[in-house]
Amino acid sequence: MGKKVTMRDIANELQVSTVTVSKALSDREGVSEEVRNRIKQKAEEMGYRYHSLAKSMKEGMSYNVGVVVAERFFSDNAFYSNLYQRLVIELGKVNYSCILEILSYEDEKSDTLPKMVSGNKIDGLIVLGQLKKHYINVLRQEDIPYIFLDFYDEHFAIDTVVSDSVYGSYILTNYLLENGHRKIGFVGDVTATSSILDRYLGYYKALLQQGIPLNEAWIIKDRDENGKFIQLELPKEMPEAFVCNCDEIAYHLIEQLKAAGYRVPEDVSVVGFDDYIYASLCAPQLTTFRISQEMMAETAVDALARKMRDSSYHAGRKVISGNIVIRDSAQKR
């Protein structure tokens, strides 16, 4: 077994004091970001490991970050499952462990706090996916740094990281328009989440700019009032194309269209959003808008880490953009 690496070893390698090394590794003030990053990189290269329990007891911190997500989103949402994994990786880079708690519909309705919050088990919280306004009000009363991920609420000035939903849906709709489609529908419950509403607005903006009237019969709900996916009701008069609020819904729509005797894309074109697993599971594979989960997770963790170090820090709303990925589910007319 090799010699145990100490803070003094790291300090000697970089010609700095052990106090500087200690501050850098514990993310305390008094060290520049450049020096902090150099020390952390050198510590990793040398295989340094510190006793996290002793460290946390000494500093009065748990070095845990909580991730809370509503059950209605996490149970059926592969995108959120993978985004959570990305959060675990990014938190590990800043020496934090991650605790996941799935918020049941009953707990959200009754304003029951996550156990990791009420039990003071975490130093910060990432709220993944939309929560009800009354529940957000409850969280705001807790003395804990937190950040929203993949949603926002215009009634609350809360730091948040979101994808560029308006732009992405606008680009997708324009792609269909440029390829000759004029009768275009939208699939998604615009009252369910801020992301779906923004994607609807991007779709509507593209239609408005081309002078194309909105057909309400082509706006299809994809979930119930509790956020559970529902069977899609296909319109009697079928449009030429659909913009879906996510790849998973696009996948289910394509399967339903094929079961009803429609060919995709020959009869109806379909585009999605996210570019995750359902985009490649589809037959044909989906034209979609790619969002970087890595960038969303990295940005959220960086913002929360800053908030945990400095209670006066405000990240604001950080928007992660993306790009269209053209595959086979939409064709020229």
Which residues have a Cβ under 8 Å from the Cβ of 28 and sit 6 or more positions away? 22, 309
> Phi and psi for 217 in degrees, rounded to 5?
-65, -15
72 vs 51, 178, 193, CA distance in Å?
37, 36, 12
Q: Tell me the pLDDT tens digit for each residue of 97-125.
A: 999 999 998 999 999 999 999 888 899 99
Give the architecture-level CATH label for domain 64-163+293-321. 3-Layer(aba) Sandwich (3.40)
The residues pairing with 110 across neighbouring beta strands, listed in sequence order, are none
For the chain, 333 residues long, give each residue's pLDDT as a single digit of tens: 456 677 888 989 999 988 888 888 877 778 888 998 898 888 888 887 654 444 554 455 778 999 999 988 876 567 888 999 999 999 999 889 999 999 998 999 999 999 999 888 899 999 999 999 999 999 988 889 999 999 998 878 899 999 999 999 999 999 999 999 999 999 999 999 999 999 999 999 999 999 999 999 999 999 988 778 899 999 999 999 999 999 999 999 999 999 999 999 999 999 999 998 899 999 999 999 999 999 999 999 999 999 998 988 999 999 999 999 999 999 988
Predicted pLDDT at 25: 81
Predicted pLDDT at 43: 86
What are the start and end residues of each CATH 1.10.260.40 domain in the chain?
7-50
Predicted pLDDT at 1: 41
Residue 150 to residue 193: CA distance in whole angstroms: 9
Pairing of β 160-163 and β 241-244:
unpaired
Torsion, Cα of 138, 143, 144, 147 (10° steps):
50
Q: How far is CA 80 from the centre of its chain?
A: 7
H helix runs in 60-193, sequence order:
71-74, 78-93, 105-109, 115-118, 133-140, 165-178
DSSP string, 189-224: -TTT-HHHHHHHHHHHHHHHHTTPPP-GGGEE--B-
* SS3 of residue 72 by DSSP: helix
Residue pair 79/69 in contact by the 8 Å Cβ criterion: no
Give the architecture-level CATH label for domain 7-50. Orthogonal Bundle (1.10)
What are the start and end residues of each CATH 3.40.50.2300 domain in the chain?
64-163+293-321, 165-291
* SS3 of residue 12 by DSSP: helix
Give the architecture-level CATH label for domain 165-291. 3-Layer(aba) Sandwich (3.40)
